A and B are shown apart, each in its own frame.
Chain A
Amino acid sequence: MCLAVPGKVVEIFEENGLKMGHIDYAGAISRACLEYVPEIRLGDYTVVHAGFALSILDEEEAAKSFAAWRELQAAAAREGVDLFGRPLADADADADEQE
């Protein structure tokens, strides 16, 4: 019922007055209704639930998440911040204080 895997829109067509599409999941093609994502275009990635596309995956947001994670991964070691840019708690210092 709940398919958490994103798929790529490879065809858009109309059927019985409804906007429909073929979605490619790494080679497996399935049909989905696109009525709830009217602005979707060929090549967009979407999340489908029970035969209905519910969102168009936002490339910019995905890229932003990754850029932040990757950058901060490197920065974490250098600057003592976590992946979300906040200062990391110094576990050792905390332990020392408790002793």
Chain B
Amino acid sequence: MKHLDEYRDPALARKLLAEIAAVTTRPWVIMEICGGHTHAIIRHGIDLLLPRQLELVHGPGCPVCVTPVALIDQALALARRPEVIFTSFGDMLRVPGSRESLARIRARGGDIRTVYSPLEAVNLAVQNPAQEVVFFAVGFETTAPGNALAVQQAARLGLTNFSLLVSHVLVPPAIGALLAAPDNRIQAFLAPGHVCTVEGLQDYEAMAAAHQVPMVPAGFEPVDILAAILLLVRQLEEGRAQVENEYRRSVRPEGNPAARLAVEQVFQVCHRTWRGLGEIPASGLRLRPEFAAFDAQCKFALEETGEMESPQCISGAILRGESKPPQCPAFGKECTPEHPLGATMVSSEGACAAYRHANRQ
């Protein structure tokens, strides 16, 4: 398929690998932020093909994985209510809260529906005026524009039975938090291609300059990732720290202005707790006060619950790039995609799931 097959050309990939080997003279640590990149890297074995001196560490760019247990518990509390139709992307259904998951509530008869777009949840609210439809609004800068438009659409339609449980997170503050950690080892970032498609390059240029770390937004095919790694290693070897855009076919410097405007109109920046990273100031989005009627936390007066994560799960260290999945004693034993202990094994973008699906020990 066009825009796909050409980026999977083995000859070109081999050439890029040779180039990377030729320019690498010492050890470097590169983090890929995005769960989509993690899966592509593990699926194609890219990390195994690179020179031994290059270490790729997996970052916190899986929205399912960083959603805190307290918020999952709020989702569960809503989903148990008889008047609620709870809607979510499929990734969230099997993520364990402190005691159970949305999937288990659904198995007991809870009205929980998987949607592929928040607009489907809006349509459900139109079709079910006697029910409350709640949409679990998780994700990074990529899903926020769609959720913003869903709220605007619900407002236009005069819906009073539609709301969002919001758990939006932003990538740049997380990068800042990782770099500020006293034991930080990350020297360069494979930047998230689709987040940059929405947000543009301005924030990343500022971060590259402030922290002196190279950043390269990349596409998601093997050739994209290898070309981006080559650009990063070049910069590291030459002592440069810039944003170089490998994913020019999708990422414009200004991003997507229409999407950014909608997000600004509907959401405002707030502090957000990340699973594995703790609270990061100004790292999330919440609904603006004028849209409070669409905020499930206000509407249903949801309370914070105590968090109880599995003591065996080391997903926090994995999300910080400190550990790799096989270093977890439960990996592949007590914790599998069929019986996950933590979100990194549940999500289609989680690092543990990526290793497990690729049979990597």
Chain A residues within 8 Å of B258, by CB = 35-36, 38
A20: nearest chain-B partner, CB-CB: B119
Chain A residues within 8 Å of B2, by CB = 6, 8, 45
Name B207-257 residues within 8 Å CB distance of A: 219-220, 223, 227, 230-231, 234, 237, 248-252, 256
Per-residue contact bits, chain B 1-14, to A (CB 8 Å; 1 contact, 0 not): 11110100000100
Specify the main secondary structure of chain A where it touches its partner.
mixed
Give the total of B residues in contact with A, Cβ under 8 Å.
59
Contact: A82 with B248, CB < 8 Å?
Answer: no
Q: How far is the CA of A89 from the CA of B23 in the complex (A)?
A: 6
Chain A residues within 8 Å of B89, by CB = 1, 50
Decide yes or no whether B55 CB sits under 8 A from chain A: no
Name A32-89 residues within 8 Å CB distance of B: 32-33, 35-38, 45, 47, 49-52, 54-55, 57-59, 61-62, 64-66, 69, 73, 76, 82-84, 86, 88-89
Q: How far is the CB of B10 from chain A (nearest CB, A)?
A: 13
B142: nearest chain-A partner, CB-CB: A49
Q: How far is the CB of A47 from chain B (nearest CB, A)?
A: 6
Chain A residues within 8 Å of B220, by CB = 4
Given A55-B250, A65-B249, do A50 and B19 touch, yes or no (CB 8 Å)?
A: no
Given A51-B119, A61-B248, do A4 and B91 touch, yes or no (CB 8 Å)?
A: no
| Most chain B beta carbons < 10 A, residue from A4, A17, A18, A62 | A4
Q: Which residues of B contact A (CB under 8 A)?
A: 1-4, 6, 12, 15-16, 19, 22-23, 25, 34-36, 40, 63-64, 89, 91, 116-120, 123, 138-139, 142-143, 145-146, 149, 153, 156-157, 193-194, 197-198, 219-220, 223, 227, 230-231, 234, 237, 248-252, 256, 258-259, 262, 348-349
- Nearest first, the 10 A-B pairs at minimum CB distance are A51-B117, A4-B220, A52-B146, A61-B248, A62-B249, A6-B3, A26-B1, A49-B142, A36-B259, A61-B249
Q: Which residues of A contact B (CB under 8 A)?
A: 1-2, 4-6, 8, 16-18, 25-26, 30-33, 35-38, 45, 47, 49-52, 54-55, 57-59, 61-62, 64-66, 69, 73, 76, 82-84, 86, 88-89, 91, 94
